[in-house]
Structure 1
Amino acid sequence: MLAAPPAGVPALRGRVVRDAPLGAGTWFRVGGAADALVRPADADDLVALLRDLRGETPFTVIGAASNMIIRDGGIAGVTVRLARGFGDVVIEADGIVAGAAALDVTVAETAAAQGLGGLEFLVGIPGTIGGAVAMNAGAYGAEIKDVLDWAEIATARGVQRFAGADLHFAYRRAALPPRGVVTRARLRAMRGDAAVIAARLNDIRAAREATQPVRARTGGSTFKNPAGAKKAWELIDQAGCRGLRLGAAQVSEKHCNFLINTGGATAAEIEALGEQVRARVRAATGVELEWEIRRIGRPA
């Protein structure tokens, strides 16, 4: 039985839902419920939550839930998911200001339609701008750190603006303040020929469709590319894991750095399959793969 919602969750203008099912809203379509799922009305509401929430209460932020495994036992404490009030996309002369809940693909397409180049890589990243900033998401030769002017981050002390350099970006990592939640970000772009930019965006989309299991229940790239000449997928393939199965979880035949739910898999099966892959790669190559997918919550 799930625990009761944590005591001390402050009164908010947004929604607070007890024992909120999460699995159907994740890309893997797995996972338990949140003890308390909070959808703040706006940035002020989010700051009030961060200010008044008890320090011992577990706190988790999820976006599109595209690059994570939510375990079968659900998430303890308070889970925040930004939605309405955080999805605006504003065009500027040399960039875009996007709310944290705006989808990466929406930002890429909006920029292209306005003749703004340099953000096409976002069409290859499944997720939201908030998550992209928090993990320095990247694809097709570019990362968020390459285009970020600033990000606004809600903390218990209010909303603070951080320049890109202040976030100390590294590979798939940003140094956010404790319990900091990205609310919006400004991304640099360059004026260009709209037709050329659209063609580049479509090329990326086509390459992704051709090489990744984009129509499967997946969580994107599973493991970080290690230092060295070989990428994670090459090491996984070398270890003989392409197509490997555990229950209804499978290593993709199309791109073996993707795990997929073939139908009815549990979060435990997907995570355990990932650990099998790591063990086989370690044994075959001596390389220790590091998870890129976030794994959060309680086991069943």
Structure 2
Amino acid sequence: MSFPDITGEIRAAAPELRGTLAANAPSAPLTWFRAGGPVQALFTPADEADLAHLLAALPDEIPVTVVGLGSNLLVRDGGLPGVLVRLAKGFAQIAVEGLRVEAGAGAADVKVARAAAEAGVDGLAFLRGIPGAIGGALAMNAGAYGGEVKDVLVAARGLDRRGRAATFTNEEMGFSYRHCAVPDDVIFTHATFEGRPGEPAAILAAMNEITEKRSTTQPVSTRTGGSTFANPGGPGGSPKAWELIDAAGCRGLSRGAAQVSELHCNFLVNHGGASAADIEALGEEVRRRVRETSGVELRWEIRRVGVG
């Protein structure tokens, strides 16, 4: 299927756009699942000012969605109406000064972790274990291996639906487990983190341990979206999502080419050719079985957007 082409309308409303704008762009190459329908309009802004120009000019009735590296995004097979903003090279800058790390929202978490480590800034190594980019990490208070974004964030900057810039302190982010309280229409563009003094060699060694753990316990080399469901017990608590999924007999469960990972059953994988509907339906079947066996309602961590 395809959507009506709205790129002409967008360019007329925002004639000074400098980024790329494409109609009915495929979404599958933008997500780690490599599945999903077309995007009505895909916009890759040149920088924050370019994005602000678009948002200020875009009619209110046109919805806006944002993607970074696409690690935890599933676009349904019917496609995504409106504009999908992709934060890419113009938002990938990383700089370290003292114990502070400045990062664009499109910067890969692993690259931020490495830049901090090489500069002797400890406390951000946990980002090595989080697939995706900084914008998504801010939006969901991402965490792994004993650390969370809330532990190291000083402030985040973003643009609202009208293109107005705002800065949010750590407290104003309203962090909780895998959640922040900033309005959903805010697109994060930049983050300031602060760590503590450390030895680069020791930090890099800790990151290597995380890499090794991930490669042996998670299906990192497959088409997957990272952790599918939030842990009901919170960070470090019990029960963990994978334990409930395993107890419900879902390890290895499949639908078409989509499967619950045999290696880590809180990961859904696309073995090639799975539709977004297959992946989402498999996740819902897992939720149903867990509900029936344990009474626990699993909450999706994967963002599912678009029409079926």
TM-score when normalising by structure 2: 0.94
Q: What SS class does the counterpart of residue 178 from structure 2 fall into?
A: coil
The separation in 2 between residues aligned to 1:262 and 1:42, in whole angstroms, is 35
Aligned residue type for 2:128: V
**Could you say which residue in structure 2 is the equivalent of 1:260?**
269
The separation in 1 between residues aligned to 2:296 and 2:164, in whole angstroms, is 42
Given that 1:5 and 1:77 are in contact with CA atoms closer than 8 Å, whether structure 2 keeps it comes out as no
Structure 2: segments with no counterpart, 5+ residues: none
Given that 2:53 and 2:163 are in contact with CA atoms closer than 8 Å, whether structure 1 keeps it comes out as no
Given that 2:157 and 2:166 are in contact with CA atoms closer than 8 Å, whether structure 1 keeps it comes out as yes
Q: What SS class does the counterpart of residue 70 from structure 2 fall into?
A: coil
Q: What SS class does the counterpart of residue 83 from structure 2 fall into?
A: strand
**Could you say which residue in structure 2 is the equivalent of 1:3?**
3
Instruction: State the Cα deviation string for residues 69-94 of structure 1 (Å, max 9, x = none).
Output: 11111110111001122111011101
Determine what percentage of the aligned residue pairs are the same residue: 54
**Could you say which residue in structure 2 is the equivalent of 1:207?**
213
The separation in 2 between residues aligned to 1:193 and 1:178, in whole angstroms, is 38
Matches within 5 A, 1:14-33: 14-33=19-38
**Could you say which residue in structure 1 is the equivalent of 2:151?**
146
The separation in 1 between residues aligned to 2:163 and 2:296, in whole angstroms, is 42
Q: What SS class does the counterpart of residue 40 from structure 2 fall into?
A: strand
**Could you say which residue in structure 2 is the equivalent of 1:106?**
111
User: Which of 218, 222, 239 does residue 216 from structure 1 map onto?
Assistant: 222
The offset of 1:207, in angstroms, is 0.9
Matched, 1:283 2:289: no
Q: What SS class does the counterpart of residue 91 from structure 2 fall into?
A: coil
C-alpha spacing 1:135/1:5, structure 2 compared with 1 (3 Å): farther
Given that 2:51 and 2:163 are in contact with CA atoms closer than 8 Å, whether structure 1 keeps it comes out as no
The separation in 1 between residues aligned to 2:272 and 2:53, in whole angstroms, is 40
Matched, 1:86 2:91: yes
Instruction: State the Cα deviation string for residues 118-177 of structure 1 (Å, max 9, x = none).
Output: 000000000001111011111111111111000111122532211111111111111223
Aligned residue type for 1:119: L
C-alpha spacing 1:29/1:178, structure 2 compared with 1 (3 Å): closer
Given that 1:94 and 1:188 are in contact with CA atoms closer than 8 Å, whether structure 2 keeps it comes out as yes
C-alpha spacing 1:223/1:158, structure 2 compared with 1 (3 Å): same
**Could you say which residue in structure 2 is the equivalent of 1:189?**
195
Q: What SS class does the counterpart of residue 243 from structure 2 fall into?
A: helix
Given that 1:222 and 1:259 are in contact with CA atoms closer than 8 Å, whether structure 2 keeps it comes out as yes
Deviates more, 1:220-229 or 1:195-204: 220-229
Instruction: State the Cα deviation string for residues 175-208 of structure 1 (Å, max 9, x = none).
Output: 2235211111001111211111111111111111
The separation in 2 between residues aligned to 1:53 and 1:85, in whole angstroms, is 20
Aligned residue type for 2:176: A
C-alpha spacing 1:123/1:271, structure 2 compared with 1 (3 Å): same
The separation in 1 between residues aligned to 2:29 and 2:90, in whole angstroms, is 22
Kindly tell me the number of residue pairs found equivalent between the two proteins: 299
Alpha-carbon RMSD across the aligned residues, in angstroms, is 1.3
**Could you say which residue in structure 2 is the equivalent of 1:44?**
49
Given that 2:75 and 2:306 are in contact with CA atoms closer than 8 Å, whether structure 1 keeps it comes out as yes
User: Which of 230, 240, 243 does residue 249 from structure 2 map onto?
Assistant: 240
